């Protein structure tokens, strides 16, 4: 029997995620949204594409949370998009309320599922999903570091005229302007970029990685990135369903790792069928530790606001 992936939110990120997951051909997909006709139309169109591309899975849409019943993975993308001049934390009040309703539905209809938070502010939304479902924290995590590292990889490949597949990048911290790209742990075919690029070039790419999402927002004016976040999420779904034991940076719940507890923060993990199967602690120098502390404090501010709602 094929696995089932439920995606809450049929907007740009959710529908793109549904498409990328379906194209892997490893799970049936159901799209959920409160807007009448939206998830149904997206699902029908993707089903038409299936006849051309041969995904070989079932794609459906519904306005009823009950449709997520018995899902193996639930991806939460529902929420308003960030607009120009809007910080991720500005989204908190609206998107937290949406996430709470979704998490309660997940607990009711898919109590054995793994939950991937995608809506922003991502690290805070992951905490909402954890608290409202009461699931083990290894089964609730967020898509963040994979996207941030992908952007870092692209900028490095662009600067060095190499292919992104040859670049391995590491990014820690919250999913926002305080994220912590780590050049020391970033390589091109195993060679640290600190041995290839000068500090000025690296600093420029680090800064652009931090503002990569805002860069796209400024171009779009009325929306935010969705293809790359969706592809990053689909990669996580594949890692869980196929038990690939992928090592990637994601937003994971910390219980003392890196000196932080009761907090979601981007860290490298082993991702497999059980969810977060291991968190890797990288030795950090003083500069990296200071940057991670700043990032953790920014996430904590969001958690503090969450606890006051």
pLDDT digits (tens, 9 = 90+) for 136-152: 999 999 998 899 999 99
Q: What is the dihedral of CA 214, 226, 264, 247, to 10 degrees?
A: -110
- Residue 176, pLDDT > 90, answer no
Beta strands (DSSP E) in 11-102 are 27-32, 59-62, 73-76
- 117 and 174 belong to one structural domain: no
- 12 and 128 belong to one structural domain: yes
User: Helix or strand or coil: residue 74?
Assistant: strand
- Supply the mean pLDDT for the chain: 93
- 171 and 304 belong to one structural domain: yes
Check residue 80 and report its DSSP letter: P
Identify the residue with better confidence: 290 or 176.
290
Long-range pairs, 82-89, Cβ under 8 A, ≥24: 82/120, 82/213, 82/217, 82/224, 83/217, 83/222, 83/224, 84/217, 84/218, 84/221, 87/176, 87/177, 88/120, 88/121, 88/122, 88/175, 88/176, 89/121, 89/124, 89/176, 89/301, 89/302, 89/305
Name the token pair of 36: 């009448």
- 156 and 304 belong to one structural domain: yes
- 127 and 149 belong to one structural domain: no
Name the token pair of 219: 């171009």
Q: What is the CATH number of the domain that holds 258?
A: 3.90.110.10
- Residue 200, pLDDT > 60, answer yes
Check residue 116 and report its DSSP letter: E
Coarse DSSP helix, strand, coil percentages of the chain, rounded to the nearest 5 percent: 50, 20, 30
Question: What is the average pLDDT across 9-22?
Answer: 96
Pair 32, 39: CB distance under 8 Å: yes
- Residue 32, pLDDT > 80, answer yes
Helix axes 199-210, 212-220, angle to 10 degrees: 50
- Residues 127 and 298: their CA atoms lie apart, in Å, by 14
Residue with tokens 């404090």: 297
- 158 and 295 belong to one structural domain: yes
- Residues 15 and 43: their CA atoms lie apart, in Å, by 8
Question: What is the average pLDDT across 268-278?
Answer: 98
- 254 and 111 belong to one structural domain: no
- Residues 251 and 127: their CA atoms lie apart, in Å, by 10
Pair 168, 226: CB distance under 8 Å: no
- Residue 76, pLDDT > 70, answer yes
Q: What is the pLDDT of residue 220?
A: 82
Q: Of all helices (H) and strands (E), which one includes residue 98?
A: helix 92-109
Q: Which of 142, 160, 184 is the last residue of a domain?
A: 142
Q: What is the CATH number of the domain that holds 32?
A: 3.40.50.720
- 149 and 56 belong to one structural domain: no
- Per the structure, the complete domain to which residue 167 belongs is given by 145-308
- 70 and 192 belong to one structural domain: no
Structural domains of the chain, count: 2
What is the pairing mode between strands 187-188 and 180-181?
unpaired
- 133 and 169 belong to one structural domain: no
- Residue 70, pLDDT > 90, answer yes
- 59 and 166 belong to one structural domain: no
Q: Which of 121, 142, 163 is the last residue of a domain?
A: 142
**Active-site residue numbers?**
175
Question: What is the average pLDDT across 228-247?
Answer: 96
Q: What is the pLDDT of residue 211?
A: 86
Q: Which of 142, 157, 188 is the last residue of a domain?
A: 142
In this structure, the chain runs to a length of 309
- Residue 80, pLDDT > 90, answer no
- Residues 155 and 119: their CA atoms lie apart, in Å, by 24
Least confident of 51-55, 87-91, 254-258, 259-263: 87-91
Pair 156, 193: CB distance under 8 Å: yes
DSSP β-bridge partners for residue 270? 247, 278
pLDDT digits (tens, 9 = 90+) for 86-136: 665 666 788 999 999 999 999 999 999 999 999 988 999 999 999 999 999
């Amino acid at each position: 029997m094929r696995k089932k992936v439920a995606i809450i939110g049929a907007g740009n990120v959710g529908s793109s995620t549904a498409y990328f997951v379906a194209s892997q051909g490893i799970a049936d997909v159901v799209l959920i949204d409160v807007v009448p006709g939206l998830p149904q139309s997206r699902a029908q169109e993707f089903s038409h594409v299936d006849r051309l591309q041969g995904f070989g899975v079932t794609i459906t849409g519904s306005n009823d949370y009950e449709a997520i019943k018995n899902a193996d993975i639930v991806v939460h993308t529902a929420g308003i998009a960030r607009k120009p001049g809007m910080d991720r934390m500005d989204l908190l009040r609206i998107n937290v309320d949406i996430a709470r309703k979704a998490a309660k539905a997940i607990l009711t209809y898919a109590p054995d599922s793994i939950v991937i938070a995608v809506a922003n502010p991502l690290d805070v939304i992951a905490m909402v999903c954890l608290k409202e479902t009461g699931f083990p924290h290894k089964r609730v995590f967020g898509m963040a570091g994979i996207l941030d590292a992908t952007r870092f990889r692209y900028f490095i490949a662009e600067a060095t005229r190499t292919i992104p597949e040859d670049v391995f990048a590491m990014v820690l911290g919250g999913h926002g302007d305080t994220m912590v790209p780590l050049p020391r742990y970033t390589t091109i075919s195993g060679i640290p970029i600190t041995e290839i690029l000068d500090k000025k070039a690296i600093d420029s790419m680090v800064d652009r990685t931090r503002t990569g999402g805002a860069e796209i927002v400024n171009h779009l004016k009325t929306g935010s990135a969705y293809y790359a976040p969706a592809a990053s999420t689909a990669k996580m779904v594949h890692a869980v369903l196929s038990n690939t034991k992928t090592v990637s940076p994601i937003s994971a719940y910390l219980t003392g790792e890196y000196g932080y507890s009761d907090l979601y923060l981007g860290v490298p993990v082993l991702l497999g069928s059980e969810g977060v199967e291991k968190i890797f602690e990288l030795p950090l120098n003083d500069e990296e530790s200071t940057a991670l502390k700043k990032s953790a404090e920014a996430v904590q501010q969001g958690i503090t606001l969450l606890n006051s709602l």
